[in-house]
Chains A and B, each alone.
Chain A
Amino acid sequence: MIKLERRAAPSSMGLVLIPVIAVFLALITGAIFLYLNGLSSPKGITWGQVFAVYGGMLDGAFGSTYGVSETIVKAIPLMLCGLGVSMAFRMQLWNIGAEGQFYMGAFGASWLALTYPELPVYLMLPGMVLLGLLCGGLWALIPGIPRAYLGVNETITTLMLNYVAILWVNYFIFGPWKDPQGMNFPLSKPFEPSAVLPTLGSSRVHFGLVFALAIAVLLWFVLKQSRWGYEVTVIGESPRTARYAGMNIKKNIILVMFVSGAIAGLAGMAEVSAITQRMQQGLSPGYGYTAIIVAWLAKLNPFAIILVAILLGALQVGGYSVQTTGVPAAIVFMIQGALLFFVLGGEFFNRFRIVLKNQGKVEV
């Protein structure tokens, strides 16, 4: 007879193994899908060809300087949004709203770039950064404050505010910000060069990478070394303990939501400033949602988030690259979904152990 037994503490082996196993299981799931998909094509498929697809992805993502640079470009918003949501997750605040916070950050930055185009670069860029942080953070406070004072479920409110944020931005690009030279298409005017973040050489790798790395270090430091970081961790793990210890939970919910949203907002600022260089629709192909996978796969560790973001960036870049050999786009989304599924599934085994009754283990 099989029984489940709660572990006293999460297994450290599990912490090591779960992400590894999850990645492999996700890749295997993808491989099975590719194989079945190939079978239905007239040419058929071999397992060798299936693995060649993964080889092709890897080649597309890391096989050239250009590939590597583009993987990083794709990873930057994932890093920042991942760092943002990880902050909230650590306190068991389910901020699903990074997508909306990203858009609001981009909105704030664009507002400055479009309203005061004549600002010199040393005012413009810092101003855009500040507004990106502020707008993203304030947007996260809208669900944060009711959560703190009324216990309103933030999973739902953060998620729903994503749509509001996107429609808010749409209002501006379809209306007041519409480029007069744009034949009535929903695009803002292009930004002045002073509002464009610097890039590395001729690549598109932009200053957002520095933001991401700096924030990773900062978060790590805050969480491990500061009193506030300690409070956040304790509140996350056991609100009751935190309350007994006299920690101000309400204040911390609000603070953490603000910081979480602000970091996602910075991601939006960097993307609109460095990549599209104007406000437009489709600025984010779901970075805020992919960031949730990033944060979980990295077990909320700031440095791991950087690496996992690169991994998922590579998966997407590689995914588009292998499409040229006839692989459908859906494969990447499948692997991503499978990743989250297996990581969360793995959590279960981390918390519980399977016990065979007849082996004489003690039952709980």
Chain B
Amino acid sequence: MKLSKKILTIVFTLVLAVALVGCGSQEKPKAAEEGKKDAATDKLKVAFIYVGPVGDGGYSYAHDLGRQYLVKEMPDIETTIVESVPEGADSERVLTELAEKGNKIIFATSFGYMDPVIKVAQKYPDVKFLHCSGYKTADNVGTYFGRMYQARYLSGIVAGKTTKTNTIGYVAAFPIPEVVRGINAFTQGVRSVNPNAKVNVVWTNTWYDPAAEKEAGKSLLETGADVVAQHQDTPGPQQAAEEKGKFGIGYNSDMSKMAPKAVLTSAVWNWGPYYVNTVKAIKEGTWKSDQYWGPISDNIVDLAPFGPMVPEDVKQLVETKKQELIEGKFDVFDGPVKDQTGKERVAAGQKMSDADMLSFDWFVEGVEGTIPK
């Protein structure tokens, strides 16, 4: 009992001590900071919150490249980032704080921020919130995403042309519609040039786990795959392919630096132009809440430069298909599309609706694997 009292006193003193040290050193710089703020009040403040660290080399990194592009294009704005924000209790606080600190536009770049964005947006009607990959909107909340499946389809063509074993591996994060759609689009691409090829799917249940994702890549290569694609935020699967002397298709940003001998190409996000257009529209007062799902013609998704091992005719073919997608001559899930069991899901001559694509929960023919339900 004596002991516990003592410890209590210590901890309390400690808290006070830290508090005092903090307060003491805080005054001057804070005043300086406020001065800085005053000088910059006319600058439009734009904030970004990321689910991973900016240095993940994947999803959050791609968003941050977009932010950097925005800063370059619009030097008169001020951007703030908050990284590694979990999708539980923290996101609501971080969003509130960013709104409190005078940010007029907040880009929330991960799906799990959806409910908090809607909640906080109600309290700050003069702040515009843009939520990536969700489906809830409000007067001051818009959603945005890109039709990554189109770039996936193109990368599938490269994989289908490259494989010798007709077995392609796909390391996938979670069985959510976005990922399922990507696998399906990739497979459609593969089978458009190589109807005998199969795509084997392995779920990792992580977005960002370098070791697990690399292991998953290895296991696919060991069971016969000679090309590995991925829906993950680390280049782990690409590195596995590099080590085994096989090939891979990267994702998020150009992954060729991490595995130069393996990466055929990467399906990449290119958020910059969207960020510039949106911030401009809000600044000029022409912005209206909407659900933007940008196609490849907006350049929001694309393929990274091809690796040196990709032959010229394949590059040509991909370029042709890309042009057709851009011009809207066809889309990835134009019928007929069959599912794994051979059942026709989209009839010939039909197009798949956005709503169906956004809630994909079945695999197309050619995918080997199951969606846990």
Enumerate chain A interface residues (CB-CB to B < 8 A).
Answer: 12, 15-16, 19-20, 23, 27, 48-49, 51-52, 54-60, 62, 66, 70, 73-74, 167, 170-171, 174-175, 183-186, 204, 220, 224, 271, 275-276, 278, 280-285, 298-299, 301-304, 307-308, 310-311, 316-317, 320-321, 323-325, 328-330
Contact = CB atoms under 8 A, between A and B. Distances in A.
B53 interface: yes
Nearest to B101: A324
Contacts of B29: 48-49, 51-52, 55
Interface in B1-34: 1, 3-4, 6-8, 10-15, 17-19, 21-23, 25-30, 33
Interface in B124-170: 135
B359 to A, nearest CB: 4
B343 interface: no
Contacts of A276: 88-89, 115
Contact of B176 (A167, A186, A271, A317): A186
A55 B25 contact: yes
Given A73-B89, A185-B111, A276-B89, A62 B19 contact: yes
In terms of DSSP, what is the predominant structure of the interface of chain B? helix
Contacts of A15: 3, 6-7
In terms of DSSP, what is the predominant structure of the interface of chain A? helix
Nearest to B123: A202
Contacts of B30: 52, 55-56, 59
Interface stretch (B77-85, B182-190, B231-239): B77-85
A58 B26 contact: yes
A282 B112 contact: yes
A261 B25 CA distance: 42
Contact of A184 (B3, B27, B93, B360): B360
Given A70-B93, A320-B82, A328-B53, 8 more contacts: A15-B7, A16-B7, A55-B30, A184-B360, A185-B111, A204-B92, A280-B112, A298-B7
Interface string B19-53: 10111011111100100000000000001000001
A183 B7 contact: no
Contact of B90 (A175, A278, A308, A320): A320
Given A271-B88, A320-B97, A220 B111 contact: no
A304 B19 contact: no
B233 to A, nearest CB: 14
29 contacts: A12-B3, A19-B7, A20-B17, A48-B29, A49-B29, A54-B21, A55-B30, A56-B30, A58-B22, A59-B22, A66-B96, A73-B93, A174-B174, A174-B373, A184-B176, A184-B360, A186-B174, A204-B92, A281-B112, A282-B86, A284-B88, A285-B90, A304-B7, A304-B8, A307-B12, A320-B82, A320-B85, A323-B83, A329-B82
Contacts of A320: 82, 85, 90, 93-94, 97
Contact of A57 (B22, B84, B205): B22
A74 B25 contact: no
Interface size class of B (residues with CB under 8 A): 35 or more
Contact of B359 (A52, A183, A307): A183
A185 B88 contact: no
B276 interface: no
A175 B93 CA distance: 29
Nearest to B20: A58
B358 interface: yes
A57 to B, nearest CB: 7
B93 A317 contact: yes
B112 A58 contact: no
A57 B6 CA distance: 27
B4 A220 contact: yes
Nearest to B355: A183
A82 to B, nearest CB: 13
B177 A184 contact: yes
Nearest to A278: B115
A238 B268 CA distance: 60
A301 B8 contact: yes
B198 to A, nearest CB: 24
B361 interface: yes
Contacts of A183: 135, 177, 358-359
Scoring B29, B88, B89, B135 by chain A CB atoms within 10 A of each residue's CB, the highest score goes to B89
B342 interface: no
Interface string B301-338: 00000000000000000000000000000000000000
Contacts of B53: 328-330
B372 interface: yes
B290 interface: no
A54 B30 CA distance: 12
Contacts of A16: 6-7, 10
A215 to B, nearest CB: 15
B359 A329 contact: no
B82 A323 contact: yes
Contact of A311 (B15, B85, B93): B15
B8 A303 contact: yes
Interface in B81-123: 81-90, 92-94, 96-98, 100-101, 111-112, 115
